[in-house]
Structure 1
């Protein structure tokens, strides 16, 4: 681009190749690099905008009594992905860049898992500190585990649809959902709906979290 502009009449006195123009070329390269880095950062940060309404509308209800006892169709998980879908349509429409769109998708997958596990950890901490009342305890742990399984499937299905046009996203989905799947497996063992050994998934979970206190809270 700098080379083309420099060929125009009277551009810097037609001094292309001189230190002045070489300096301009370096500045232009730096500017382009900065713009690209800013664009990537913005794409990777878009999840914060997407999840603000999700946090406000569903966080208090996720793992609550209605979630466990009444919402048999995984309504809260569907609400999460519906909000993500609405934002995603706008992202695809206005971003129009496959590289940046993939960055947004990667971040949304990761943020979905972080949000879900974060809500579960918060519930676990409340129980551990014994600062809860009857409505905070799963009335039927096996049913709660089934709900979690359904929620995971709803979220993965949503991202799997996106991955149809973005094959590389499939690997991200499996990687990012691995901690949540490990949590689900541990809970399944704990409530007696799985014959696997809890120690197997506890080790996997700890490798994924890397934090003893987080692993302990979840288990």
Structure 2
């Protein structure tokens, strides 16, 4: 039987994506600091452990001025948290024997920038197919960027500057995963996302619709991004 990490066995891991589902949305200079304020209020993060330039794969300074100038894309990585804060956000564990004190989140990652990033999820449940790439200002189709650092947090990346049309994607959802879909429709790409990595501490909502039970957190985060959010769950 698959158990959470506190149970000592290896098994499935889960993470929850909250993505800005607005094709024309772009981050602002204060987006990262506004998101961090929400994380701090919910005891999910106070200061990033690392900041990574996604186009070059280089580690950057964690100073606010560096994070504010996100350019084409950065990953702002916050460390893990334990205990009651996890249960407040995610509700009870998938496993009834796991105590509140043993709950954990491995890491929380904010990804923002001007480029379009294609949503990645488990190939066996949801797959987003690029039907049309974005078009540049002259109407020419763009190719995905090479050499991106992603840590499997997204699939491909397309340049997001001088764009006349965003990409068009089609979602392919396996029959068994239909019960997990929290939104009937989403773009399948984004310029801003928060990824909460629960590791093997599966939350109970992973059995059904992949929506965080803490609706106030989702509302606070949407206000921080200044955009509508869609949630997508992923098993590894």
Q: Flag whether TM exceeds 0.5 (same fold).
A: no
TM-score normalized by the length of structure 1: 0.24
The answer to which structure has the higher helix fraction is 1
TM-score normalized by the length of structure 2: 0.23
Choose 1 or 2 for highest CA Rg.
1
The answer to which structure has the higher strand fraction is 2
- Relative CO higher for 1 or 2, CA cutoff 8 Å, sep ≥ 6? 2
